[in-house]
Chains A and B, each alone.
Chain A
Amino acid sequence: MSGVASDSRGARDMTAVATDLNPVQELVLEAAASGTPIRIAGRCHWIDAGRPVNATRVASLAVHAGIVDYVPGDLTITVRSGTTLREIENLTRAEGQWLPLDPPGSSDGTIGATIATGSFGPLAHAFGRARDLVLGVEFVTGDGRAVRGGGRVVKNVAGFDLVRLVTGSWGTLGVITEVTLRLHSVPLQPATLSLAVPGGRNALMQRLTSILAAPATPLAVEIVDASLARSIGLPERQQILILLGGNPASVAAQRDVFSRLGGAESVDNEAWSRLRTVEDTSPPIVLRISALPARLAEIWDGAHASLAGGGGAMLHSMPSLGVIRCILPSGTTHQTVERLLSATPDATVVFERLPSAMWAAFSPSVVDDRLSRGIKLAFDPSNILNPGILGPTS
C-alpha cells in the first residue's frame, strides 16, 4: 500500500535532525532547495481521497507526535501535530475532560490533519468547528520558517490571526507542527434521543424548527436518513438524533421538552461513535452540501430525491449549520453526482473524497481569488506545500 511506504519515507525524513532547526524545517528547506513539492500527511488517511496534489513525495507527520503540555485545570492541551485523536481522548478522559471535535473517521487520525482540513462532526452544533477550538498553532512555512500564531491561553487577540488562517488551509500555507486546543469538561449524564420525522419537506422543517427553538441546549442535533440509520444499528427510518448532556436535572428537563414534541425514544450513546465510523475507510465519494439553515429541508429533500434508487447512498445533516453530508457508494457515476448538484441549487459544495478523474469537473479552485493567491505566495513562495490540493492558484 502506497500509504504505508509513504509513511516510512516520511518517518525517515523526520529523523534527520542535524542543526538547531526542527526536523520539519529541515524537511521543508530541503524540499524548497531542490524544488520538490511535498504532500503533507498525518497518517495518510486522506491520501486516496482523490485530491489533485501535484507532488510525488509524501511527508508524514505521524512520528511527530506526543503531548507537549497538559494542565487539566487550564482546560487546554498542547500537542504535536502527529498525535492521534485517540491519544488526546484517552489522556483527557482520565481527567474528566474532552476535546469536543468528532470528525468523520476513526480516532486513529491525527490532530494535525483534523485541524489542517478543518474537519468537524455533530458536536460542532454546540462546540463549534475546528476553527473555534484551536487556540494556538505552530507551523513551518514553505520557506522553512517556524511560525507561531495564537498562544496557550483561552482568550487571545495578540497579533494577526495566523491560527484561523492555517486552520482549514489543507497544509498549503505551512506544515502544522504543534497545536494548542481548548478542552471542555465531559458532560455529566450524556443521553441520546431519537425523534421520528414524518415524511415530507414541510414536516421535516417544522420538526427541525421545534427542536432547534426548544428551551434546551443539546450538544448535537443530527438528521440521519433511513439507510444510514440502519447502518448504525437503529431502526431503518429517517430520524433526528439529539445528544444531551449536563447536570441530571438539566438532562431530565430537556428530555421532557423533547418528549413532549412526540415520537422521542432513548437510544444508545454508541450511536454517535458508529455514525463517525459508518463509512468505509475509503468510500469513493463524500461531499458536503451547505446553505442557509432555513433551506435545510429543501436541500435534504432535493438530495434525497436525486439519489433515490441509487442504492446505498447515506445522508446525514447538521441542521443548525445548514450542512448535509452525502456518502455515496462505489459505482456512483458522474451523472449521479451531476444530478445531485442540480437538485441542490445555489448551495455550497465541498468534496471530501472524489475519484481523481472527477475533481476537475466538480471541484473548482477555492483559492483563486486575489487575497488567497497573495496569501499562498506569501507563505509558500515556491509552491511546494500540497500544491493543487485546494485547486490551482493561477
Chain B
Amino acid sequence: MRPDLQPVIVGAGPAGIRAAETLVRHGLKPVVIDEAPRWGGQIYRQPPAQFQRTRQTLYGLDAKAAAAVLDTMTTLLPHIRYRNDTLVWNAEGGQLDLLHQGQTSTQPYSHLILCTGATDRVLPFPGWTTPGVFTLGGAQVALKYQGCAIGSRVVFVGTGPLLYLIAYQYAKAGAKVGAVLDTATLRDQIAALPDLLAAPGLLARGMYYVTWLRAHGVPLHGGIQALGTVGDGRVDAMRWRDSLGEHEVACDAIGFGHALRSETQLADILGCRFEFNVQQRAWLPVHDDAGRASVPGVYLAGDGAGIMGAQAAEWAGERAALALLADTGQASAPALRTRANKLERALGRTQRFRGGLERAFPFPPTWAKQASDSLVVCRCEGVTAGDLRASVAATGTTDINRLKALTRVGMGRCQGRMCGVAACEILAQCSGQPLQAVGRLRGQAPVKPIPFAMTCATSPSKPEAST
C-alpha cells in the first residue's frame, strides 16, 4: 500500500464490510471504525458473546445473507485495523476525532468511505414519550440483541416493510402481538406491485410475513391514523382511527416508525453537497453512481447515503471501494469496469424497487396537518407542534435552523435525529412552503454527546500512526 494512502471506513454494517473486503482484496489495509462492540450494523447486529441463539433464530429468512456478511468480516480481521466500540464525533482536515471507552483519539485518513446507516423515521403521536413506546428498530434490537420483547403485549404502528418484518419476528419468538397498524392501505400496496416486482425475492418475503401474521391470528389494520396512547405514565392501550371509526387495542408496549432516515451528519460536517430527494422526503448527500461524494476522497455507501436496504448496501459498499481503488491508481479502471457495471445495474434495479416501496408504504401526507398543537415534537427539549407554529406565526420564520434557534427544536441531545423529520414537516405545513424550502438541520460536531471534559481538552491526544 502506498504510504500516503490510508483509507478509513466508518461503519461495519453490510456496506462497510463489503467495502473493506474489496479494498483488502486489492492489497489495501483499511481502518474500519464502528460504534458497536461487534460488527454487522443494525440489520445484522450480533448479540453479546454470552448469547447462544443460532443465526437461523436471530436472522430468520435473512440468515444466509447475514452469515455471508458476518463471516466475511471474520476473515478480514487480520487484514484490517478494526476499531470497534468507537464513535467518530468529528471529521476535519484529513483527521477523524474518535471516542473509545471514554478516551479520545484521532485517526488520519486519505480517503473516507462513510457507511453510517440509518435510524427510524419518527412521526410522533400523542403519548409517544411515554415509557413503553419505542421505535420499530428499537423493538428489533431488544429482541435480536437481548432476547427480550419490549412488552408483554406489543402493538406495532407506522408504515414500511419493517412493520411487518418485526411483527413477524416478535410473534415467531413467542411474543404477543396485539395488532399491526399501518398508515398505508391495501390499495397503496396493490398499486406498487409492478415496481416491487423489480425485486421478486424481497416482494415474496414481505408477502410471506403478512400471510404468516394473518394465519397466526394477528390483527392487521390498514389506512389508520394513530391517535395516541392510553395510560398514565405507562402504556395501557393504543388508540387509532380508520374509515370505520375510532378504535382501541390493549397493549403495554408500542413499536413505531415510518420507514427509515439516513444518518448524514459526518457527510455534512465534511462539507458534502446535499440535494433534496423527493422520494425520501429528505436532504441527502449527493453522490455519483459509484458513490463519490462532492468532496474529493469521500465516498458514500449504504443507507447513510439514502435508504436502499441491506442487499443494496453490500453492492454500494463494494462499488464505492472500487471507485476508491480506481481514483488512487491501485487498480486500473478498465479491469474493474465489468464488476462495477454489474453493481451499478443491480443498484439501479433496487432504485426501482425502492420506488415501489415508497408507493406501497407512502409517507402519511396529512400527518402535519393532523398534528395537534399539544403534540410533543422534540422529546429532548419538550417542544410541541404548537410551540413551533406559534414561533412561525410570531416571527415569520421559514427556515428550520432559524426555528431551531428560536424554539430549541432539534437542539437537544439527539441533535434532531428523532424530531428533525417531524419538525420540518410541521414548519412546511404552517408556513405554507414545500418541504424542501424549509432546509435541513445542519450537522454539528460532536455528532453525538461526548463527555464535557473532552470537548474542553486544550490539546488533542496524539495522532496514532497509520498502519
A binds B: no
Interface, chain B (partner A; CB < 8 A) = none
